[in-house]
Each structure stands twice: as C-alpha cells, then as structure tokens.
Amino acid sequence: MVGAGAAGLYTALVAAREGARVALVSRSPLAETASYWAQGGIAAALAVYDSPEQHLADTIAAGRGSCRPSAVCVLCEESPAIVRDLEQLGVHFDADRHGALALGLEGGHSVRRVVHAGGSATGRRITRELSALVATDDRVEVLEHANARALLTEGGRCAGVAVDRRDRKPARVIARWTVLATGGAAALWARTTNPPGAVGAGLTLAAHAGVALADLEFVQFHPTALVSDTHDGFLITEAVRGEGAILIDDSGERFVDELAPRDQVALAIEQVLRAGGGARVFLDLRRIDMTHFPNIAAALRHAGLDPARDPVPVAPAAHYTMGGIATDVDGRSSLPGLLAVGECACSGLHGANRLASNSLAECFVFGRRAALAAASEPKPGPDAACADLKTPPPDPRPPAATREGLWRLAGIERTAEGLEQLLGDPFPLARLTAACALARAESRGAHQRSDYATTDARLDGRHAVIRDGEPEFESWK
C-alpha cells in the first residue's frame, strides 16, 4: 500500500480487517496530504428526501457527458454504508439539533447531502482517526518517511515497490498486490489549493512502468481560492456558498449562480478577472455565521481579513485531477497485481468535472472495493525474483518552470499553440497532460479550449487513454 491519505489509510484498514498483512509506505506526514485539508465533507444519499439515483443524476450532470456510468452507480449506492462504517470506526460527524447527521449543500448537488466533521475540519478529523487505528493495528506495518521510487515487476505482474527510506538505504517491499493511493497532481500547477507533495508521483511511477493513464486533460479549478500575500491559494469551501455566501465583482454586482457546478463558476470568475484593469472578484461572507467554519475564519484572520466586515478576494486555483491511473471499478490497473485508489486513480467516476465532495467518498468506496479485490490476487511464486525496471525512474519533483508552464498553457483556458509548447516540457507528466489536452479538440467541463469552444458529441463518454505513446479515445462500460 503506497500512500497514507484517506484512500490509503482506509484501504489498509479494510484489507487488514479481511485478514491481509499490509505494509503501508508513506513519504510525508499526515498534514501534508490533501485528505487532511478536505473541508466540505463526504457526499452520500442519506436523507429521507434523497436517493442514490438522485446523487447519480447530479454526478452525471456535473461530469458533462464523460462519467463512466458503472463507476457512478457504485459510488452513489455504496457511499451511505461507508459513512456508517466510518462512524463505527469512531469518526464523529456533525449532527443537527435533532441529533441526526447534519447535511451540507454544495455546488451541483440538488439537495443537502454532504456530511462533515468539526465544521470545515472534515479531512483533519477523519484522517487523524484512521491513522490512529492504523498505528495500533497489528496487521499493518507502517513505513514512514519512505518514498516509493519505482514499481517492481516480475513475469508481467507488479510484485511490489522499490523504496527509499529516510536513512537513504534503498529497500524493496515485495507484495502479492500493490495499491497506489498516492494522491493527485494539482500542485503541478503554479496556483493551487493542494499541498506541495500533490504532484502525481504515483502517476509518474505508473507511466514509467507502462501502466495506462487516462483523462489527464480534466483538471478541476476551484473557484474560490484566497488571493493573499501570505495565504494565497487557501481554499474557501463551497459549503459557505451553500449557506448563502455570494460572489461579487468590483462594483458589488453578482455575476454567476454561486451553486452551479465548479467548471461554470470558475470560468465565470476567470472571465471577470480577464476583463483587465485590475478587476477583482470577492466572496461576500458578511451574512455567514463563521463559527460553523472555524478553520476558514482562523486562516482569514491570519491573512489580515475580517469576513464580517470585508468581502474576501478570491480567484480560481488548480484543485483536483480527475484523470489518473486507469482502473476498473475495483481499482485494478492495466498491470496485473497493481491497483490504484483515491485521487491518483481514474475509474471514470468524475468525468470532465468532479461533483463537490465526491472525492472523499471515492477514496473510501473504491478503497474498500480494491481491498476486497486484492484479496483474490494470486500469491507470487516461491521463486519470484523482482527486478527494477531497466531505465532509472524520472525525478518525481517538477521544476518551477513546469508549474508555471502548466498554469499558463494548460490552465482554465487552453489552446493548441500553448499545449504544443508544453509537449517540450522536461517533466514527463506535463507532456502527457498536454498530449491528452491536445487530443481532446473540444471544450467540456473543466477542459476549456478557446480554439474549440463547443462540445463535440462524438466524444461523449470517451476517455483519452495513454498506454505507450499517443492518447487514444476509449469507451468504458
């Protein structure tokens, strides 16, 4: 198991519960995972007025004709049971005044369906609870400060990972199944809401071993990241818009439906900002009771802002990568013995635009399925000898120029000219992202091409898959 965010921790716990012995490899502390910073919560059709079918309809609508229906079905049907399982494991979700789970409203959801913990401290509460359980589980051995450097393969199967420990001694973890839960790649873009480690390390490892990646062109830009000298990129959850916060321009006018899906809101803000003349956009929180969002209130205070008095300057930032290691609905990748879950995986669930709070749900729902699927993987033979791949793995850290280049050339709006420039970038994942974005000659969801402004119906339900060379479009059941 590689990665100790929400997906890695939960997958390890379920696998251990099923009787597996698990080695959990993680390179950075909990507070440097995206999971720790999750604010809004987990989407699950728990209310009497809600249903998995309605959650499915909202997810498909947000995904702009690119979601894989089977993955959406799995998520929406299994997410409520996951919330109950997390409660059994000791996670305390916020309750309403009647003692029932309090449900938040976020963009693209037709009803209130997002459970949260500690107001906007959901990720922190969940990951702390899960990591405490992992630390005391005899069946899980945690290898901290351990960086997975390369996948090991043997006889056409993944046989584990090569790892660098803090003491610099290289080690190998041999396993009958390997799960990558290494998180997303949004910190490859210069302006981001993500912690610095979210640079797609797992995708780089997988691509190096020839494992199929998909949908890399679909990158979600969160509409409301703080503009600040000290806290630039700090995310202000959409849950505040669910409670009535509004977006206004310099003249105090509203210009967008604040609860439309994220691609629409981000694009509307970008268009206001591009109007020039130093135009700015503000999130007006003056009517919001910020005691419900204590960590946002604290961050704004530290940034010298008083949300009760002043509208807060915001702009979009790279937030979530819908693409990743191509998997089926049980997390299996194109390399036998290798599974991927959480943000590093691409089951096709999110399509071209993730519905808010579907990604923590994804970590748990698909993490559980991967743990169960892994139990049926064959054991490596007694003579299994693992060999590192022949060519040395690429450095997983992007140069600063790559991050600037992705922001400028593969940002909210892209053109063929810019993407072609990016094809010459030294960082492999930047080149692969550019190749997928070039191949998709249309605008859809989070992928906006100013040279192809409309959606091409022939690409409905088609995923750009990179196996070994140019992306090819595939339909997934």
Ligand X SMILES: Cc1cc2nc3c(=O)[nH]c(=O)nc-3n(C[C@H](O)[C@H](O)[C@H](O)COP(=O)(O)OP(=O)(O)OC[C@H]3O[C@@H](n4cnc5c(N)ncnc54)[C@H](O)[C@@H]3O)c2cc1C
Would you tell me which residues interact with ligand X (CB under 6 A)? 2-8, 25-28, 33-35, 37-41, 122-123, 147-148, 181-184, 193-194, 197-198, 201-202, 235, 320, 342-344, 357-360, 363
Helix H segments across 114-222? 122-135, 201-208
DSSP code at position 452: B
Of 33 and 443, which CB lies nearer to ligand X in the complex structure?
Answer: 33
**Of 40 and 398, which has the nearer Cβ to ligand X?**
40
- By DSSP bridging, strand 178-180 and strand 219-226 are unpaired
Query: Judged by CB, which is closer to ligand X: 75, or 465?
Result: 75
192 pairs with which residues across the strands? 318
Q: How far is the CB of 297 from ligand X (least distance, A)?
A: 16
Count helices and strands in the chain by DSSP H and E runs: 13, 21
**Shortest Å, Cβ 194 to ligand X:** 5
Q: What are phi and psi of 297, to 5 degrees?
A: -60, -40
Q: Give ∠ CA 89-91-96 in degrees, rounded to 5.
A: 135
CB 68 to ligand X: min, Å: 18
Q: Is 149 a catalytic residue?
A: no
CB of 333 to ligand X, least distance (A): 15
Angle subtended at Cα 54 by Cα 475 and Cα 354, rounded to the nearest 5 degrees: 50
Q: How far is CA 134 from CA 17, 164, 171, 258, 300, in A?
A: 11, 22, 22, 39, 33
CB 288 within 8 A of CB 245: yes
Torsion angle of the four alpha carbons 302, 103, 331, 21, in this order, in degrees rounded to the nearest 10: 80
What token pair was written down for 363? Answer: 């970590």
Please report how close the Cβ of residue 35 comes to ligand X at its closest, in angstroms: 3
150 to 156, 203, 394: CA distances (angstroms): 15, 11, 9
Report residue 160 as tokens.
């584990």
Beta pairing class for 219-226 and 338-340: unpaired
In the complex, residue closest to ligand X by CB: 5
Q: What is the rounded CA–CA span in Å between residue 196 and residue 143?
A: 21
Residue with tokens 């519960």: 17
Task: Return the number of the residue (114 or 459) whose C-beta is nearest ligand X.
Answer: 114
Nearest CA among 18, 21, 316, 337 for reference residue 151: 337
Q: Give the bridge partners for 474, in sequence order.
A: 463
The CA distance from 477 to 475, in Å, is 7
Q: Least Å distance between CB 23 and ligand X?
A: 11
Smallest gap from Cβ 67 to ligand X, in A, equals: 16
Q: Which is nearer to ligand X, 161 or 256 (CB)?
A: 161
Residue 108 or 197: the one with the smaller Cβ distance to ligand X is 197
Nearest distance from residue 225's CB to ligand X, in Å? 9
The answer to whether 127 touches 6, Cβ cutoff 8 Å, is yes
Catalytic annotation, pick one of 113, 124, 157, 262: 262
DSSP letter at 354 equals P
Angle at 302 between CA 300 and CA 305, to 5 degrees: 45
CA 447 to CA 200: how far, in whole Å?
19
DSSP for 12-72 reads HHHHHHTT--EEEE--S-GGGSHHHH--S-EE---STT--HHHHHHHHHHHTTT---HHHH
Residues catalogued as catalytic: 262
